[in-house]
Amino acid sequence: MKVLVTGGAGYIGSHAVVELLESGYQVVVVDNLCNGSEVALSRAEEITGKKPTFVRADIRDRPALDTLFALHKIDAVIHFAGLKAVGESVGKPLAYYENNVNGTLVLCQAMEAAGVRRIVFSSSATVYGNEAPIPYIETTPRGTTSNPYGTSKAMVEKVLEDIADADRRWSITLLRYFNPIGAHPSGKMGEDPLGVPNNLMPFIAQVAVGRRDELTVFGNDYPTRDGTCERDYLHVVDLAKGHLKALEKNTKPGVNVYNLGTGMGTSVLDMVSSFIRVNNVPVPYKLGERREGDLPAFWADASKARDELDWVAEKNLDDMMADTWRWQSRNPNGYRLL
Ligand code: NAD
Ligand code: UFG
């Protein structure tokens, strides 16, 4: 079976490429490298001994996609490509809607023309909005999103639902990720954000490796156990495996939506102390102001994925910490040499 992975040179996509290759799938990656690296794909080849086909193109480039589908007999698409920085999206809404929404429209049009109607889409827990009861469960309707990134995910979910309603030949899986962190246990692949990391885990790792002086904990006056925000962190390899389960189990027409998380919340301070304890490295931090838009706490009800996809997150927080540090300490500058 041949799978097209959009955004396969990025953080989560490259880990999915490894899992696909190791499970015997043929893999074609399309990525414009705006936030990914071809080195991630050579590392995937080193790990698996198998080479994914790489096409450098933008998913909004319809002729490029048509050529790709004509050259490769694709059976299914896993769609990671998109922009993902919540804060940046507030200042650049057009770029986010253009990339994430229009990109998906062009991709689906090219799929339709090529007769490929199976897609797994990277959605986010952010589509539950600001007022959903915790834990988040798939039966709760999408809520009001508070930034263009989140809204673009909710819009794409709706577009995909409408496509499936209109044509029962489409089989669509919406995977709502909680907070993916960690790295491949080989230490060869991991998260490599451009510039200052927005997310907690890569920031902690860059402080530990000496690229940044200290972490600022955004707020310690939330109504949580220790006053800092709680999130459902899951290992990126578990998340990658969830995509294979979705491909294998979700062959029926229509739309299925699954939360992918562990079902447990961990606070920012617990994350810092776990990283220090597991890796025995200092992580200087200071307590700072709240970051605008952060919710105090949320985590997944992941029972639907367990019951229907036979997927559970197998790796624990210590694995996430150890694997992040193995990656960061062996690759202090990520995929860049300097
Ligand atoms: P990433 O930025 O590392 O990977 C995205 C990849 O897509 C990059 O390699 C980038 O170069 C590529 N890309 C972007 N726009 C493109 C375009 N128009 N054409 C071709 N390639 C394009 O991000 P990630 O963390 O791996 O996230 C993958 C997906 O998962 C994204 O859709 C993201 O919104 C979603 N997601 C991520 C998180 C998270 O915390 N990382 C949480 C929920 C959902
Ligand atoms: N945090 C800090 N200091 C930092 C960075 C983050 O204290 O330097 C805190 C945040 O305030 C938050 C927690 O660490 O309390 C986690 O923050 P992240 O930015 O790592 O993750 P978020 O939960 O804010 O965002 C993630 C994804 C989004 C997605 C959202 C909801 O990055 O794509 O989950 O699913 F929209």
The half-sphere exposure of 38 on its side-chain side, counting CA atoms within 13 A, is 6
Q: What are the residues facing 285 on neighbouring strands?
A: 215
Residue 97 Cα to ligand 1 middle (Å): 14
Q: Is the pLDDT of residue 152 over 80?
A: yes
Which residues 6+ apart lie within 8 Å of 22 measured at CB?
Answer: 48
Token code pair at residue 337: 């040499």
Atom of ligand 2 nearest to the CA of 228: 15
Residue 144 Cα to ligand 1 middle (Å): 22
Which of 248, 192, 176, 178 minimizes the C-alpha distance to 41?
192
pLDDT band at 250 (very low <50, low <70, confident <90, very high): confident
pLDDT at 251: 80
Residues having CB within 6 Å of any atom of ligand 1: 7, 9-13, 31-36, 58-60, 80-84, 99, 103, 122, 124, 177, 179-180
Tell me which residue has its CA closest to atom 36 in ligand 2.
126
Choose the CATH number for 2-182+234-263+299-304 among 2.60.120.560, 3.40.50.970, 3.30.420.40, 3.40.50.720.
3.40.50.720
Tell me whether the omega of the peptide bond preceding residue 135 falls within 30 degrees of 0, making it cis: yes
The half-sphere exposure of 323 on its side-chain side, counting CA atoms within 13 A, is 23
CB 57, CB 66: distance < 8 Å: no
pLDDT band at 318 (very low <50, low <70, confident <90, very high): very high
Which ligand ends up closest to the CA of 283? 2
Q: What are the residues facing 122 on neighbouring strands?
A: 175
Atom of ligand 2 nearest to the CA of 178: 35
Token code pair at residue 202: 């890569």
Q: Is the pLDDT of residue 337 over 90?
A: no
Residue 107 Cα to ligand 1 middle (Å): 15
Residues having CB within 6 Å of any atom of ligand 2: 84, 86, 124-126, 150, 179, 198-200, 203, 215-218, 229, 231, 268, 291, 294
pLDDT at 204: 98
Which residues 6+ apart lie within 8 Å of 228 measured at CB?
Answer: 217, 219, 220, 222, 267, 268, 269
Tell me which residue has its CA closest to atom 19 in ligand 1.
58
Which ligand ends up closest to the CA of 192? 1
Tell me which residue has its CA closest to atom 18 in ligand 2.
199
Token code pair at residue 166: 């209109």
pLDDT band at 336 (very low <50, low <70, confident <90, very high): confident
Token code pair at residue 99: 């990339």
Q: What are the residues facing 79 on neighbouring strands?
A: 6, 121
| Angle at alpha carbon of residue 251, lines to 249 and 255, rounded to 5° | 100
Q: Across all residues in the chain, what is the average pLDDT?
A: 97
Percent of residues, the chain, with pLDDT higher than 70: 100
From the CA atom positions of the chain, what is the Rg in Å? 19
pLDDT at 338: 53
Phi, psi of 260 (to 5 degrees): -120, 105
State the catalytic residues. 149
Which ligand ends up closest to the CA of 81? 1
Distance CA 84, CA 74 (A): 26
Residue 170 Cα to ligand 2 middle (Å): 33
Q: What are the residues facing 118 on neighbouring strands?
A: 171
Q: What is the rounded average pLDDT of the residues 84-97?
A: 96
Candidate from 18, 28, 35 with most ligand 1 atoms within 8 A of CB, to mutate: 35
| Total-model pTM | 0.98
Which residues 6+ apart lie within 8 Å of 157 measured at CB?
Answer: 121, 123, 127, 142, 174, 257
Work out the end-to-end distance of the chain between its first and last CA atoms, rounded to an integer number of angstroms: 38
CB 231, CB 299: distance < 8 Å: yes
pLDDT at 234: 98
